[in-house]
Structure 1
Amino acid sequence: MNYFELNKESWNEFTPSHVDSDFYDVESFKNGASSLNHIELEGLGDVSGKDLLHLQCHFGMDTLSLARLGANVTGVDLSDVAIQVAKDLSSELNIPANFINSNVYDLDKHLDGAYDIIYTSYGVLNWLEDLDQWAQLVHRFLKPNGVFFIVEFHPFIYTLDHQDMKIKESYFKTGPMESIADESYTDGSKTEKKNLKYVEWNHSLSEAISSLRNAGLQLESFNEYPYQVYNCFDHMVEIEKGKWVFEKYGSKIPYLYSIKMIKN
């Protein structure tokens, strides 16, 4: 099975509903709102004048938000539909950006050079089978003393059954996980094509950190967060503006984590 082609098809189907959704709120973005959250803004620091590579950028709102902060941005995504939307937004809003349609593992075929910052966020690692290969590519595209920053959904939340909120899956599960859907996680918008199949993988915290360290990066910081910044799962309540938790567990469990690495 060609997992990338399967996932590319599903993301191509989901992208139009994402663009039209309240979840992404493209109109506010067009009117000047940033799509970035406080975690990545604090973690990345001042990006002005920096060459920044955004991996798995979807349709580019975060990439373009970083460009508005002065970064020289390149966004990469598997979905050609999403990349076209990103290019259209860049052109419409007159925000300089470079967008490349590629899966992460083939990036060497489409991109050269090196970057001051590599960034990726929120629901990205679950689409990658091999984190060692991913981490090697991160190392490859970072300049000496360059920074890698990721903020990601905590793998613990994927152990929970989102109906009764009890632990159902092993934290240490491995192998491809096939799913079928015909609606978006954003607001339940239906896709034109029914029963879309896609494939994901679970990656523990130790796997994520170890892959980057083994590739030659040095750990600068690691943080876990007792809240989610998106209302993107069932049974969530907002405890503060922009901070969401499961109603059953509140802030007792981790929802997100971030890793900052340096290439020495």
Structure 2
Amino acid sequence: MTRTDLHEINRVSWNAATVVHNSHKPDQAGFLKSGGNTLFAEELELLGDLRGKEVVHLLCNSGQDTLSLAARGAKVRGVDISDEAIAFAKQLSADSGIAAEFERSDVYPWLEAEIAAGRQYDIVFSSYGALCWLSDLGRWMKLVAAILKPGGRYVCMEFHQVAMIFDEKGVPTYDYSMPEPLHWEVGISDYVGDSCGALVASGEAVAGERFVNPNPCYEFQRSMGEIIGAVLQSGLRLQDYREYLYSNGWKPFTDMKSLPERRWTVPDGTPKLPLMYGILAVKE
């Protein structure tokens, strides 16, 4: 069941967090205008050649990755529920001179409107902490499949569900799959500030005061079987699935080992575990 009521609670929490997240990132427009790109190699490999492709970036946040897709030759539309994120993305597009369309909407009604209008895309893209905000994953995947052209691709790069079992100290705390939404009284955190600069591509991270979000949020945690099952049940063909023993940007645990290219992994001597996964699924 789609929980629009919880999506709206999350929208308010995201509005507060988004302002703080962007406060850590210096001169984003100048960075993009000069050829900077916020995408990591892993998603670019799954995305393939973007030149001339019609792409929709769902749950696009503040548009940095969306504009990075556009800079690689794609015609891109970004969609996000946060008012602050979309306002920032539109301004960033104008200031950087990189063209993209941005729409503020819950993705479910947006997808339904696209289907009703008969619009389809070459690529649907979602990444890094997107799926956990979707209350009905099965419905989402069927809607995504419906807006893909024949031969179109769904590309997803996400943080691994195994990592979500642990708290920030690396202690097993949460169930692998949760039938009920996970409620956080203290809402979306300043994970950009906590990343020690790994989520800041445009220069040295700008320090700020400790942020505590006064607005609660809800997450929807699922197993990898549920996620891959939703892809398969949508009618798409799973072409590629990859797991990574490191995390791009996000620092999931307090005690982590820094790697080159703004990545994190568990410390030496600690059992390795998957921290990210990538999915490529095709509409036949």
TM-score, normalising length from structure 2? 0.86
Shift of 1:87: 0.7
Q: Where does 1:2-41 land on structure 2 (aligned, <5 Å)? A: 2-22=5-25, 28-41=31-44
Contact 1:54 1:63 in 2 (8 A): yes
Equivalent position amino acid for 2:182 in 1: M
Residues 44-80 of structure 1 show CA distances to partners (whole Å, capped at 9, x for unaligned) of 0101000001000001010100000000000000101
Match for residue 254 of structure 1? 274
State yes or no: 1:213 paired with 2:268: no
Structure with higher RCO (Cα < 8 A, 6+ apart): 2
- Structure 1 residues 97-150: Cα deviation after superposition (integer angstroms, max 9, x where no partner): 111111111114553400000100000111111111100111111001101100
Aligned match of 1:153 in 137, 156, 159? 159
Q: Secondary structure at the match of 1:196?
A: coil
Residue of structure 2 equivalent to 1:119? 125
Q: Which residue of 2 aligns with 1:87?
A: 90
Match of 1:55 among 54, 58, 81: 58
2:251 to 207, 211, 232: 232
Q: Is the 8 A contact 2:124 2:153 kept in 1?
A: yes
- Residue 263 of structure 1 pairs with residue 283 of structure 2: yes
Question: 180, 184, 200: which one pairs with 2:185?
Answer: 180
State the SS of the aligned residue for 1:36.
Answer: coil
Counterpart in the other structure of 1:76: 79
Report the Cα distance in structure 1 between the residues aligned to 2:250 and 2:26, rounded to whole angstroms.
Answer: 9
SS in 2 for 1:186: helix
The residue type equivalent to 1:240 in the other structure is P
Q: Separation in 2 of the partners of 1:20 and 1:32?
A: 21
Is 1:222 the counterpart of 2:241? The answer is yes
Deviations 1:151-181 (A, max 9, x none): 0000011101222x12222212221111133
Q: Is the 8 A contact 1:13 1:192 kept in 2?
A: no
Root-mean-square deviation (CA, aligned residues, Å) is 2.2
- With structure 1 as the length reference, what TM-score do the two structures score? 0.92
> 168-177 or 138-147, which moves further after superposition?
168-177
Partner of 1:46: 49
CA contact (8 A) 1:149 1:260 kept: yes
Counterpart AA for 1:205: M
Distance verdict in 2 for CA 1:26–1:92, change over 3 Å: closer
Partner of 2:171 in structure 1? 166
1:170 & 1:235 partners in 2: Cα distance? 21
TM-aligned CA deviation for residue 223 of structure 1: 0.5
Higher deviation after alignment, 58-67 or 201-210: 201-210
- Contact 2:81–2:106 under 8 Å retained in 1: yes
Deviations 1:178-222 (A, max 9, x none): 113365111155588852200001021111111111111001000
CA distance 1:160–1:47, change in 2 (3 Å): same
* Native 8 Å contact 1:227 1:251 kept in 2: no
Letter in structure 2 aligned against 1:256 = M
**Bigger mean CA offset, 148-157 vs 237-246:** 237-246
Q: Aligned partner of 2:178: which letter?
A: K
Structure 1: where are the runs of 5+ without partners?
none
Paired with 2:100 and 2:84, the residues of 1 have a C-alpha distance of 17
How many residues are aligned here? 263
